[in-house]
Amino acid sequence: MDEEIISADRHTAEVAALHHEIYELNRLLEKSNRIAADKTTDSAGDPFDNPTEYKHFLREYSDIVPELGTNGYSLPLEPEYGERKNIRRSYSVGGWCILLHFVLAFGLSVVFQNLLIMIMQMFNPSADVNTLFGYAYNSSILVGLNMLIYLIVNVFFGWAGLRLGGFKGRSIISTNGFGIGKALQYCSIALCIWTFSAYASMGIEEILSRFGITSIVDQTGLGETPLALAVSTLYTCIIAPITEEIMFRGMLLRVFSRASQRFAIFATAFFFGLAHGNVPQFVLAFLLGIFLAHITMCHNSIIPAVIVHMFINTFVTLFGFLEDSGETVMLIANMILFAVSFFGVIMLAVFKSGNRIPVATPKQSTRGLYIAVSSVPFCLAVIVQMAYMIVSLVTNK
């Protein structure tokens, strides 16, 4: 009888121990499932997990793919319909802003120039139209008019693109890790890029000249009065760098970087080159645009790009003033230019050693140019501006 009681107690203890083991196994299984789910679930902020990108420049990707962050969801290699639609929308915002910026600036210039001539004719009915236009061309009137037009369209479309893209205006000036040392380094690098671009443009011009084509736009007589030169210098050295950086590195770079920072850098630089309307300036603006976009991402701000842009435009303006100062002055200026450019090569190597342009992951590669070319506004912006550049090149003989 005692042996039966002992056997029953032992059986109960064995059953309890077995239940406990089952409980522990279930708990371990649930923990394992949670870990596996975490490994296959993409972060809502950085689903591409790209170590080469600048994390402080990223924006939450969950507004592109709402499913991010849910258990078990992993971003597919090829974007699905909803994600592709949302990415295309970002590219379309940038495309519309660039396209309308070009059309409005060009259209307003034509309209206001004709309106100006009409007003001048009202006060001078006996004057010839060509004479009136020549007067306006040589004075500060057209220079000031164009300055005002581009100031307005740059700021307006920069602001509009940020709003449509869901970005706050103050986000483009919150600077990280930038100081005087960095500014000097970046300016020397930019001067090196300008020097290389100048010689590249000369080579392109030499090739074009063999076909009876020139890329040099003749602006002889435009704004030759002291006031016109002052207005032109003010716009070139201060207003243009600020407003263009708001437009391109402030708005366009952020709108285009939703899925790939690498794509955004090169796409922004390409549009920046097209915006200058001719081959020599395209070469400079494209190469410089890559660098300006890169340092904007490095410091999460347009401030470094604005300073470098101001420096280059001011340098080019001063260098242009020195062209009529004699051979000795130009020789000294060129020696200084090459010395600073050589220093810029060294600084570029130092910069590149610690700051590489982001590389696209396989998932990002299917979400960059692949989707951008399916955006009608994006493609129209490219086609219209390229057509304008080609027509200007062919007709400028």
Which structure tokens are listed for 92? 């379309």
CA distance 367 to 328: 54
Instruction: Report yes or no on 56 lying in a domain.
Output: no
Question: What are the pLDDT digits (tens) for 106-121?
Answer: 999 989 888 888 888 8
Instruction: Report yes or no on 281 lying in a domain.
Output: yes
Predicted local confidence at residue 31, as pLDDT: 52
Least confident of 56-60, 110-114, 115-119, 326-330: 326-330
Contact yes or no for 305/294 (Cβ under 8 A)? no
Predicted local confidence at residue 211, as pLDDT: 78
Contact yes or no for 238/76 (Cβ under 8 A)? no
Average pLDDT value for residue range 217-236: 80
Q: How confident is the model at residue 41 (pLDDT cuts 50, 70, 90)?
A: very low
Helix, strand, or coil here: 326?
A: coil
In the predicted structure, residue 156 carries a pLDDT above the cut 50? yes
pTM of the model: 0.86
Average pLDDT value for residue range 241-264: 96
Least confident of 59-68, 95-104, 280-289, 375-384: 59-68
Question: What are the pLDDT digits (tens) for 89-102?
Answer: 999 999 999 999 99
Residues with Cβ within 8 Å of 1's Cβ and at least 6 positions away in sequence, in order, are none
Instruction: Report yes or no on 374 lying in a domain.
Output: yes
Predicted local confidence at residue 13, as pLDDT: 63
Mean residue pLDDT of the chain comes to 86
In the predicted structure, residue 209 carries a pLDDT above the cut 70? yes
Predicted local confidence at residue 223, as pLDDT: 65
In the predicted structure, residue 376 carries a pLDDT above the cut 80? yes
Average pLDDT value for residue range 353-364: 93
Predicted local confidence at residue 314, as pLDDT: 95
Average pLDDT value for residue range 229-233: 89
Number of domains observed in the structure of the chain: 1
Average pLDDT value for residue range 152-181: 92
Q: Which of 312, 282, 371 is nearest to 79 (CA)?
A: 371
Average pLDDT value for residue range 163-182: 89
Instruction: Report yes or no on 44 lying in a domain.
Output: no
Question: What percentage of the chain reaches a pLDDT higher than 70?
Answer: 87
In the predicted structure, residue 336 carries a pLDDT above the cut 70? yes
Instruction: Report yes or no on 9 lying in a domain.
Output: no
Q: How confident is the model at residue 74 (pLDDT cuts 50, 70, 90)?
A: confident
Instruction: Report yes or no on 372 lying in a domain.
Output: yes
Contact yes or no for 41/69 (Cβ under 8 A)? yes
Average pLDDT value for residue range 78-82: 92
The total of other beta-carbon atoms located within 10 Å of residue 311's CB is 20
Q: Which of 181, 216, 184, 194 is nearest to 315 (CA)?
A: 194
Instruction: Report yes or no on 219 lying in a domain.
Output: yes
In the predicted structure, residue 42 carries a pLDDT above the cut 60? no
Average pLDDT value for residue range 309-325: 87
Average pLDDT value for residue range 191-210: 88
CA dist list (Å): 360 to 73, 183, 241, 262, 394: 21, 28, 29, 6, 37
Instruction: Report yes or no on 190 lying in a domain.
Output: yes
Which structure tokens are listed for 106? 């060009």
Average pLDDT value for residue range 364-392: 94
Q: How confident is the model at residue 397 (pLDDT cuts 50, 70, 90)?
A: low
Predicted local confidence at residue 10, as pLDDT: 62
In the predicted structure, residue 252 carries a pLDDT above the cut 80? yes
Predicted local confidence at residue 38, as pLDDT: 40
Predicted local confidence at residue 367, as pLDDT: 94
Q: How confident is the model at residue 34 (pLDDT cuts 50, 70, 90)?
A: very low
Alpha carbons within 13 A on the beta-carbon side of 118 = 6
Residue 126: give the domain boundaries: 81-395
